Structure 1
Amino acid sequence: MPDPREIHDAFAAALCAHDSRRLLDCFHPDAVLVTPVGMVEGHEQIEWYFGQFFSIVPDLTTKVTTMLVHGDTIAVEWVTSGNQTGVMLLPDGTEIPGTGRPISWTGCGMWTVEDGRFATGRIYYDQLHAYMSLGCRLVQTEPGSTAAPVHVGASDRGAEPVPAADPQDQGTRAESRSGPIRRLLRRLTGR
């Protein structure tokens, strides 16, 4: 049976090759991942989660910088990079078209292995750095202000208002899979 290091090596190779089938072979069918955009469960959601990165950054590569194994648990630190040529969806439905800009982010993950596959995982990465490398920026608004936050396009040519999110749209477990990403981005932009 493969050890956690071998499983992670297979996962990293599949990730860099954008090979969803090989990537899913590294996970139990009912595996659970906790990610910055929410929890994903099972092969279908795991494939969707990593597929978002593949479509936004088609030349995505990941380099492992640190790996520690303790029993059935593996901790990994990594750097991911590529060029944002695919469309990125923002919380309000606005899309950032492919910019061609280089994007990179650092992160780490903790994985638990059972029966030769990942059963659970926690992924952490620097979202602010990733968004800023796309030309996005944080905008502070006054508390209680009705002024719409400003989104600066990736080319930084000018600003355009971003409509405020509907406060009723808090999401449920049955919502579309883009819901967790939209909620995360709302938190980042303060809306």
Structure 2
Amino acid sequence: MPDVVNAVSVVDRFFTAYNAHDPEAVLSCFAPQAASVGPPGQSDNRDQILSYHELIWTAFPDVTLTVWQTITEGDEVAATSMAAGTHTGPFTLPDGEVLQGTGRRATARVCWVFGVENGLIVSQQVFYDQLEVYAQLGLSCPAPVHRP
């Protein structure tokens, strides 16, 4: 039977840890076998998931997420949020190029979908408009990256 309270609780803890830029607290929200998919591709364990979040924290050291809404169905939690931060650090683009800090402020609407089992996140999907972020950073549309 799904435990809605624990599902929402761990997702709330994730967002709090993310906004604190606390790697250990973020890791504690994920099961060891957790997987994630988002704009940079797939992550197959919680260390890879954390690595992606740390890349964002490095590029946007003041980034925060403001959660607007969460919707829960069983052990699935969807959340919409606004990410906002200033690009002052290196940001790796999908083609591998590294964009040095521009000093520009960027915001993006983000949708998250989490799967939760036994009080830990086992799956994370992240959706946001990369072109919206690139435009705010002064970039043109990047060439598509083809993955096998």
TM-score strictly above 0.5: yes
Equivalent residue in structure 1 for 2:134, among 100, 118, 131: 131
Gaps of 5+ in 2: none
Mapped partners of 1:90, 1:72: distance in 2: 33
Count of residue pairs brought into register by the alignment: 142
Mapped partners of 2:80, 2:91: distance in 1: 25
Correspondence for 1:165: none
Correspondence for 2:55: 52
Please give the per-residue CA displacement for 1:151-177, whole angstroms capped at 9, x wherever unaligned: xxxxxxxxxxxxxxxxxxxxxxxxxxx
TM-score between both structures, scaled by the size of structure 2: 0.89
Correspondence for 2:35: 32
TM-score between both structures, scaled by the size of structure 1: 0.70
Q: 1:88-127 residue pairs with structure 2 within 5 A?
A: 88-91=91-94, 93-127=96-130
Greater strand fraction, Structure 1 or Structure 2: 2
Gaps of 5+ in 1: 139-184
Equivalent residue in structure 1 for 2:69, among 66, 69, 93: 66
Please give the per-residue CA displacement for 1:44-90, whole angstroms capped at 9, x wherever unaligned: 20111111101000001000111111111101011000100001234
Deviation at 1:41, TM superposition (A): 1.4
Contact map agreement 2:56 2:91 (CA 8 A) in 1: no
Mapped partners of 1:93, 1:56: distance in 2: 14
Correspondence for 2:80: 77
Correspondence for 1:187: 144
Please give the per-residue CA displacement for 1:107-148, whole angstroms capped at 9, x wherever unaligned: 10111110100011211111111111101123xxxxxxxxxx
RCO higher in structure (CA 8 A, sep ≥6): 2
Contact map agreement 2:114 2:121 (CA 8 A) in 1: yes
1:7 matched to 2:22? The reply is: no
